[in-house]
Structure 1
Amino acid sequence: MAVPAETTRQDEQRAGATAYGKDAFRRVLAERVDGEVRFDPGTRAAYSHDSSNYQQPPIGVVVPRTVEAGAEAALVCAEHDVPVLSRGGGTSLAGQCVNDAVVIDWSKYCRALISVDPEARRAVVEPGACLDDLNDELSGHRLMVGPKPSTHDTCTIGGMIGNNSCGASAQAYGKMVDSVVRLEVLTYDGLRMWVGETSDEEYARIQAEGGRRAEIYRALRDLRDDGMELIRTRYPDIPRRVSGYNLDSLLPEKNFDVARALVGSEGTLVIVLRAEIRLVPVPAYQSLVVLGYDDIAAAGDAVARVLPSRPLALEGMDDTLLDLAKGDHLAGPAVLEEMPDGAGWLMVRFGGDTKDEADERARNLIGEMEDGPNPPRCGFLHDPAEEERLWKVREAGLGATAYPPGRPDTHEGWEDAAVPPDRLGDYLRDFRALIRDCRFDPVSLYGHFGQGCVHTRIPFDLEDEGGAERYREFAERAARLVASYGGSLSGEHGDGQSRGELLPIMFGDEVVRLFERFKAVFDPGNRMNPGKIVHPHRLDDDLDHLAYDPSEPDTHFSFPDDHHRFTHAAARCVGIGKCRASSGGVMCPSYRATGEEEHSTRGRARILMEMMRGMPGDDMPDPAVPGPGGAAVITDGWRSEDVRDALDLCLACKGCRSDCPVNVDMATYKAEFLAHHYKGRIRPPAHYTMGWLPLWARIAALAPGAANTALHIPGLDAVAKRIGGIDPRRDMPRFAGQRFTDWFKTRPARSARDGADKRVVLWPDTFTNNFHPHIGKAAVRVLEASGYQVEVPPVPLCCGLTWISTGQLDVAARVLRRTVRALAPRLRDGVPVIGLEPSCTAVFRADAPELMAGDSVEDDVKRLRDQTRTLAELLDEHQEETGGASPGASHDVVAGLDSPRVRAIAQPHCHQHAIMGFGADERVLSRAGVDVETLDVGCCGLAGNFGFEAGHYEVSIAVAEQGVWPAVQDADPGTAVLADGFSCRTQIEAGTGARPRHLAELLADLLPEDER
């Protein structure tokens, strides 16, 4: 395919973007803009990527505090002829959210719901408003925004307008263009205006006023009239045409709607400052039917028969995605068992004013489909919670398919084409044939089948020129295939750079020339997000991985899920941005506190990738020289202060290891970085105090009273904190008068209970042993009441947690080696190790095997991983084995009385959430007669040493104030507060009047009197 001549303009555009002195330009921005102006390498690295294959570092980033400040930033850019990129959530898959431009990020401050009219079902919002947060605000009116992309917890209204977003709910409510009533926009040359439908009378009034607005409207009318026949005949008549500009919105029958014409323009025409949008009622009740077919193409054939039932959503999914969901535990086994037999499924969601109405519509569809040709196997989910869990399997498609186990990594590039729904089955067959012909591994096919939109990720090899050529060949052939079906190259994600170059195949050259005219009306100088849609950069320019060829460093951790390569781990993020969600799950607490891209898991991952890009490989000896994807932003490697600063506010909570759709493990990456960054250098004071806490605790045990006095005398404590790098506002925990291990050694010998032939090692972690020994004592009572013979290591040992979290990995390895050797005889006998502190337990289950790979004790480390249990896991397994309740695992004895059940709220430790899970705890508590509500409010904010360290206090408190503190304070009187983590208990006590308890304490109190 010939490259459009206009694409050669990109070199000129890039030169213009950097010609003006950056320091002087930054100072002008900072003087005139009420906001945060950042041109530092760390920020530029964080914004170098979106969710696409492309890497383009920005000139700088402006985070305006108000809409007016954002407009002022754009005006400053125009005065200096600098390109502008207006950005929302940064999750675009076609490359439209990265550019050599000044990025205006609206998502931190400009998030307001300005007004809502419930009767008219209208709202006016700022561009940075997050969709889920906005819908939460609207929920009191039983209203919501119609389109709901799978990134609904992080995408912004401005971004949705820019991309013409859809999601599964577009089946019922249309694309974002169907929700937009009016837009307040700003052109590059400074015109600010509200646009929408334009009657002939309004058009005449605008012309009478004259000026730039009249010029724009006159040019748009001329363009429409000149191209009317082309627009009416060359635009695909399908529900998911997202490619190209919405010139059809200018037609007379569409009321010359300038606002809708601008929707989907990806920031290439104007900046959206405010939006008036239509709202829709929240469905009162929903039901879900699953139809199973022999393959995904047969499921596509059935779409036309389902559509007359007018579902809220009609999604398709194949067996590959379901298998990946099972492997990633995206839904429980009970939910997946509800799936009918097959290799391709349609998921059909109905709504109703009552549950019976929604269910009746579902049953009617089942009857119609079973009575017709090629009847499917049918499943009907009755539990709304199970429906939602299964629906999330489909929503998680991008993350689940990015790194399929045992297969090559996959990429975007042809992930959202759309065809007429009644031709979907045939298209799927032809598309699979194309994939086979191009010799790609089988891929997962899923998507919004009710509107003919097919999602997939393909294992393009984008790391060398040959792979890039194959990517181009495939994209061109796929474009021709879609065009032959009368389809759209993009059915959801937009054109950007991935598909902009291919638009002539879909629309023809004449329509593309209309696009160029449309662009020139608003942005004649090509300064608005240049190189996207119109005059596009080549689809194989700026490829991220093509310019990513760093040398592989020697590392402490083995990174088994990344082919044992830190370079792969650093590039693992695919930009979904789930870490930017404001609620639910654990990640990312620092982002929730700061609203900073650089302090999200995604931002840190991108910065680490740019750090590695700056470590030259064989093909790029000089990282400062631009390669296929541009010069590296960070060139000082492990010593980079920008990387250190970005990682500094990472709480190492490990929430991303489980909550990130592609399991980025920033806690491990941070520990690895710190080990290299401080190698041979003086470390921060807290690394020597909090990092070496196990040693200081052993010393303090010799005279705990004196240690407590020294740490709590006014004046002396301030000196100690300052020297130790501890925030002065933190109260230091008090050492116990007697350690748990000392108590255990001196307690009277216990005779083994009948049948107590099961030995367990109760792990005396530093926190339980030295600060809260009563928890260890309670655990001994529970375990012995359950029939276990409890052993405690006879010598002081440690898991190495505090050295790991501070990046002192050589020390951590030595500590672990000693521990494993001491435990080896018991491990080889198959004795379980029971952890009480979740963070220490998680070390044995996850960190230790990855840190000690290849070590002399590796086999025993693996035994330790496999034999380590939480207290709840052991009791849960015990109950399963015995088929009944043991005294420590059940409250049957107490439940037989007429006493009320115990009420509790539980704050799971982040490491437990990420590594072990909390399911066993919930089952044990339920059997013990405890009504427990498991909080979903995120990290407590203390996170081990993080919240104690100087410089972290504000973020630590902000995290607690957003989640766990209000949840505890709002609990009903008499509700027990459960928190197994030492950090969680410490933080809860610091901000509430509650006395949180460990599971072992609660279970011990529920034992029969003679068992206590």
Structure 2
Amino acid sequence: MAITGLVAALRDRVDGEIRFDAGSRAAYSTDASNFRQVPLGVVVPYTPDAGAEAVAVARDFGAPVLSRGGGTSLAGQCANTAVVIDWSKYCDELESVDVEGRTCVVQPGIVLDELNRRLERHGLRYGPEPATHMNCTLGGMIGNNSCGATAQRTGKVVDNIARLEVVLYDGTRFWCGETTDEQYAAIERRGDPKAAVYRRLRALRDAYAGEIRRCYPDIPRRVSGYNLDSLLPEHGFDVAGLLVGSESTLVTVVRAELELVPVLPERTLVVLGYPDIAAAADAVPAILPYEPIALEGVDHKLVRDEQIKHLNPDALDELPHGHAFLMVQFGGETAEEARSRAEALLGSGHRADVEFLGDPVREDELWQVREAGLGATAHLPDRPDTFEGWEDSAVPPERLGEYLRGLRELYREFGYESDTGPALYGHFGQGCVHTRIPFDLYTAEGVATYRRFMERAADLVAEFGGSFSGEHGDGQSRGELLHRMFGPQIVTAFGELKTIFDPDDRMNPGKVVAPARLDEHLRLGSHWAPAEPQDLRFGYPHDGGSFTQAVNRCVGVGRCRQHHTDGGQVMCPSYQVTGEEEHSTRGRARLLFEMLDGHGDETIRQGWRSEEVKDALDLCLACKGCKTDCPANVDMATYKAEFLSHHYEGRQWRRPRSDLALGWLPVIAGIVGRLRLGPLVNAVTHTPGLSRLATAVAGIADRELPLFAGETLQHWFARRGPRGDGGLGTVLLWPDTFTNQFHPHIGQAAVEVLEEAGWRVTMPLDPVCCGLTWISTGQVDTGKRVLTRAVRLLAEHVRAGGLVVGLEPSCTSVFRGDAPELFPTEQDVRRLRNQTVTLAELLTRHTPGYRPPSLDGEALAQVHCHQHAVLGFDADEELLEAAGVRLEHLDSGCCGLAGNFGFERGHLEVSEACAERVLLPRLRAAAPEVAVLADGFSCRTQIHELDSGGHEGIHLAELLAGGRAPRPGPPPSWARAALFAGIAGVSAAAVRALSPRTSRRRPR
């Protein structure tokens, strides 16, 4: 294939972004499955027409095509050696809404949650809702025939599609849907390519109608295979229905007309506890007549896995007694209607331990237990890795209990069953079971066992009259097994259908028809031999000390590709504002995987020196949001620091100047503080012309620089000394660089609050630092030395059981998070981790009888991203509630400054865009008297510079102290005068030094 010509033609003819670079190909080399196929390249079209033109160009060069949405497919259908068309960045419009007809027309890249957000004002929504609803696209849902928990009420995607606009590989383009005999006759009369397709489809249907009726399982969740049953007369010869679930193997969908359902305004939840998961499944048929809108099953192993990973702790406490649970949700137009349905079920004498919830907040929390299933069962400590493959089989609901017992027996036979797994959960009301199995995909024997299990499991489901896939599609995982479910004649019909739409097998080849083997193209496999890096900076204690295993945590679920921060999620800010796969946590993890890959056809060939990986990591804000928000706990901030440390090893001269200016900020600030040069430095950085020169010399973005304090916190404390009787003991207040040098008023307020609460406060008076700025800029060796010094300095205090209070979240999180990762075996580091607390934690957890002052008023909380990820905000909320503060916790994610990120050259646009998503609009709408709680120095700096409404961020310590401490002001006039006098003197000296001299004889 003439790749060079293909690329040139795509760039010439397609209105979009054409990417055939190694980094893009690496980012799209896999989905959420076990498989890996490096694409030829990626096309990101600006419009649906541009996407259609990309197919035309590919046809001219004979290139395969793969249409991709959110890339979360679990069966391998979104990985192929093809031209990948990614619709998700630009083709995301809701083009029209017909409220009366309850339909809408969408482009394929629109995300489900975003669609339902836009439909909300009409009282409508799209019914099917997979667990990935926050990042899955409608195009991907159509490709997979997605379902989700709501399918209990609304059905699968195939049940909610009115029409599709499709493009065939040969260029034929048409709208399709249900077709009456009259409409069919009209199409026939046209005699165009569409007529030829329809004619052949009708002939195919007529030839196989009896076999379709005989072989297709009559169950709610039959997703496997092509929807040939949609062509039957009783289904209206629905060509759109036929194409739903075809996984980009037949056509490219460029638009879709969806059927919508009314929003149910009220719902209530009943949770039933059972002795085991099979008993819970046995109870399903008796519940179905009460018409729940969702009926989900969860076993105790999933609950335990979530407890281990600290997921949804509050919700888990709501569960009734039992080792398995059914979550039965009822809906209605009124709360009474929903509740009466639930009470009817409970009044039927159902034997189970019951929790009846009517609080929507508690219900949502419990629902998160179910939606967290994929992440909760992946990468658990001290457990074998689990994988997809047999993760969504479905059987008739009335036989679900039998099937689960048979599946458990199969697990035992193959050595997969244990006290710790696999967990079983799923859409039990429709007989669909989710699970991840500890397949050994690292050895030849393990892969062979995986194949045998898949074949036996397929026979088991066929025996129960079920479907290999009840939600996620066949792809490569189950494509070669379809004859075991449908028989040879239907599989032959699948091949004939493929020939009607794609005779040359150019549409996502190797899936469903003429499929690749289920043990082919494995991302791991017995030949996987990654280059395990040596001399690592971090310890990776949760991954056996292996950077490769840490990078391999990503399971591709795509939670990092969120488009809104609803729900308090922080990751991944750069994806939120760019929409770029490589700027998501998943995309970066893929590039790092490819960098280490042992397949032999590496896309990333330069290892630690890779510019592609560096470019992908460049827009990582190191916010640490993924450390908590990612279901697999990918820690991209740590991986970035590790990579940058090696990338510049032995060539520090290639580092950006900003790494030196920002990384060594604590040293620079320490010199300024000790020599009391703050006013003079402030005059330089806040004088027009000079400020731009200063930022240019430092290599940082042209933005306002923070003001140094006239007196540091340490100087103030040395002059003032500790006070109070310290009835509760002594606590050490950590004077981080930002509080000490820039905002000492916060430290002063904290000292007053702590002393009033009964603590005696002490503080190191020598120069100290946690090493954060060196770590975040990838100067990890220096950061470790600085951190080691801090640990030694604090050792005596923590060995005596003393607490360390951190005021700056990013520095506090170093002690709680980074230090144990850097020094996993050091006892003093462990003590420091366990004994470091935030101000709110100290006052709520360690200060008996403390009552905060009455602070009646409203406040907005911009929670620092490191506090969200490492420290938590629960104690702050508890304290503020006790103080009478009416708090709004902003779902704004990272403020966009993120320490050094927002000051680095080339990042300003992304930094400001992050702030503009939620934070700044909310501040502009807030009344002037509303307090803006922002404990993070970065957050306060971003608010100060960008909020046009004049709000200033305030630290919790200031709020509790009633704003008594002084805040820094602009440089005093004498400093400017001294600066200009100094500049004049230096300039005169420079002129004299540079002027030509004449020789004169001196008289003797």
Shorter-chain TM-score: which interval? over 0.9
> Which of residues 460, 480, 499 in structure 1 aligns to 2:439?
460
1:376 aligned residue:
352
Q: 1:109-148 maps to which residues of 2 (within 5 A)?
A: 109-148=90-129
> Which of residues 290, 293, 302 in structure 1 aligns to 2:274?
293
Q: 1:761-800 maps to which residues of 2 (within 5 A)?
A: 761-800=732-771
1:678 aligned residue:
648
Letter of the 1:640 counterpart: S
Q: Per-residue CA shift, 1:421-478, capped at 9, x if unaligned?
A: 0000000000000000011133101000000000000000101211110110000000
Tell me if 1:908 matches 2:863. Answer: yes
2:343 aligned residue:
363
Letter of the 1:890 counterpart: P
Q: Per-residue CA shift, 1:787-815, capped at 9, x if unaligned?
A: 00000102111000000000101101110
Offset of residue 24 of structure 1: 2.4
Greater CA drift, 702-711 or 956-965: 702-711
Is 1:890–1:924's contact at 8 Å kept on the other side of the alignment?
yes
Identity %: 59
Tell me if 1:940 matches 2:895. Answer: yes
Offset of residue 397 of structure 1: 0.4
Offset of residue 23 of structure 1: 2.4
Is 1:181–1:276's contact at 8 Å kept on the other side of the alignment?
yes
Tell me if 1:593 matches 2:577. Answer: yes
Hey, what's the Cα distance between the residues in 2 that align with 1:148 and 1:975?
A: 37
Offset of residue 750 of structure 1: 4.7
> Which of residues 833, 845, 858 in structure 2 aligns to 1:877?
845
Q: 1:570-969 maps to which residues of 2 (within 5 A)?
A: 570-584=551-565, 585-613=569-597, 616=598, 625=600, 631-681=601-651, 682=653, 683-701=655-673, 702=675, 703-728=677-702, 730-747=703-720, 749-753=721-725, 756-854=727-825, 858-879=826-847, 882=848, 884=849, 886=850, 889-891=851-853, 894=854, 901-969=856-924
Is 2:387–2:439's contact at 8 Å kept on the other side of the alignment?
yes
Hey, what's the Cα distance between the residues in 2 that align with 1:336 and 1:196?
A: 44
1:5 aligned residue:
none
**What residue ranges of structure 1 are gaps of 5+ in the alignment?**
1-19, 617-622, 626-630, 896-900
Q: Per-residue CA shift, 1:31-69, capped at 9, x if unaligned?
A: 111110001111111100100000111000000011111
1:619 aligned residue:
none
Offset of residue 550 of structure 1: 1.2
Hey, what's the Cα distance between the residues in 2 that align with 1:303 and 1:678?
A: 59
Tell me if 1:87 matches 2:68. Answer: yes
2:516 aligned residue:
537
1:317 aligned residue:
298
1:72 aligned residue:
53
Greater CA drift, 272-281 or 962-971: 962-971
The alignment partner of 2:846 has SS state of helix
Hey, what's the Cα distance between the residues in 2 that align with 1:26 and 1:551?
A: 32
Hey, what's the Cα distance between the residues in 1 that align with 2:417 and 2:232?
A: 44
Offset of residue 21 of structure 1: 2.6
Hey, what's the Cα distance between the residues in 1 that align with 2:359 and 2:313?
A: 13
Q: 1:241-280 maps to which residues of 2 (within 5 A)?
A: 241-280=222-261
The alignment partner of 2:204 has SS state of helix
Offset of residue 878 of structure 1: 3.0
Offset of residue 1007 of structure 1: 9.3
Offset of residue 330 of structure 1: 2.3
The alignment partner of 1:206 has SS state of helix
Hey, what's the Cα distance between the residues in 2 that align with 1:157 and 1:453?
A: 21
Q: Per-residue CA shift, 1:174-202, capped at 9, x if unaligned?
A: 00000100000000000110001111111
Distance of aligned partners of 1:121 and 1:808 in 2 relative to their CA distance in 1, 3 Å threshold: same
Hey, what's the Cα distance between the residues in 2 that align with 1:971 and 1:257?
A: 52
Offset of residue 727 of structure 1: 1.0
Hey, what's the Cα distance between the residues in 2 that align with 1:687 and 1:852?
A: 23
> Which of residues 281, 287, 307 in structure 2 aligns to 1:306?
287
Q: 1:489-568 maps to which residues of 2 (within 5 A)?
A: 489-546=468-525, 547-554=527-534, 555-568=536-549
Hey, what's the Cα distance between the residues in 1 that align with 2:963 and 2:681?
A: 35
Letter of the 1:407 counterpart: R
The alignment partner of 1:351 has SS state of strand
The alignment partner of 1:690 has SS state of helix
Hey, what's the Cα distance between the residues in 1 that align with 2:69 and 2:959?
A: 46
Hey, what's the Cα distance between the residues in 2 that align with 1:506 and 1:1007?
A: 74
Hey, what's the Cα distance between the residues in 2 that align with 1:277 and 1:975?
A: 43
Is 1:184–1:272's contact at 8 Å kept on the other side of the alignment?
yes
Offset of residue 716 of structure 1: 2.3
> Which of residues 467, 489, 493 in structure 2 aligns to 1:488?
467
Is 2:231–2:237's contact at 8 Å kept on the other side of the alignment?
yes
How high is the TM-score relative to the length of structure 1?
Answer: 0.93
Offset of residue 709 of structure 1: 2.1
Is 2:127–2:261's contact at 8 Å kept on the other side of the alignment?
yes
Greater CA drift, 185-194 or 704-713: 704-713
Greater CA drift, 966-975 or 586-595: 966-975
Is 1:890–1:929's contact at 8 Å kept on the other side of the alignment?
no
1:17 aligned residue:
none
Hey, what's the Cα distance between the residues in 2 that align with 1:506 and 1:828?
A: 65
Number of residue-to-residue matches in the alignment:
951
Letter of the 1:537 counterpart: A
Hey, what's the Cα distance between the residues in 2 that align with 1:249 and 1:472?
A: 32
Q: 1:66-215 maps to which residues of 2 (within 5 A)?
A: 66-215=47-196
Is 2:230–2:241's contact at 8 Å kept on the other side of the alignment?
yes
Letter of the 2:624 counterpart: K
Offset of residue 757 of structure 1: 4.4
Offset of residue 825 of structure 1: 1.0
Distance of aligned partners of 1:337 and 1:849 in 2 relative to their CA distance in 1, 3 Å threshold: closer
Hey, what's the Cα distance between the residues in 2 that align with 1:53 and 1:165?
A: 20
Offset of residue 1006 of structure 1: 7.8
Hey, what's the Cα distance between the residues in 2 that align with 1:414 and 1:404?
A: 19
Is 1:570–1:612's contact at 8 Å kept on the other side of the alignment?
no
Hey, what's the Cα distance between the residues in 1 that align with 2:360 and 2:587?
A: 34
Letter of the 2:934 counterpart: A
Tell me if 1:407 matches 2:364. Answer: no
Offset of residue 722 of structure 1: 1.6
The alignment partner of 1:1005 has SS state of coil
1:12 aligned residue:
none
Letter of the 1:368 counterpart: S
Is 1:369–1:376's contact at 8 Å kept on the other side of the alignment?
no
Q: Per-residue CA shift, 1:303-322, capped at 9, x if unaligned?
A: 00000001000000100001
2:454 aligned residue:
475
> Superposition RMSD on alpha carbons, in Å?
1.2
Hey, what's the Cα distance between the residues in 2 that align with 1:970 and 1:937?
A: 14
Hey, what's the Cα distance between the residues in 1 that align with 2:349 and 2:68?
A: 44
Greater CA drift, 930-939 or 263-272: 930-939
Hey, what's the Cα distance between the residues in 1 that align with 2:504 and 2:349?
A: 56
Hey, what's the Cα distance between the residues in 2 that align with 1:182 and 1:116?
A: 14
Hey, what's the Cα distance between the residues in 2 that align with 1:496 and 1:904?
A: 50
Offset of residue 864 of structure 1: 0.9
The alignment partner of 1:818 has SS state of helix
Greater CA drift, 425-434 or 817-826: 817-826
How high is the TM-score relative to the length of structure 2?
Answer: 0.94
The alignment partner of 1:455 has SS state of coil
Hey, what's the Cα distance between the residues in 2 that align with 1:404 and 1:692?
A: 37
Q: Per-residue CA shift, 1:525-565, capped at 9, x if unaligned?
A: 00000000000000000111114321321211011111211
Letter of the 2:342 counterpart: A
Distance of aligned partners of 1:757 and 1:215 in 2 relative to their CA distance in 1, 3 Å threshold: closer
1:628 aligned residue:
none
Hey, what's the Cα distance between the residues in 2 that align with 1:211 and 1:487?
A: 39
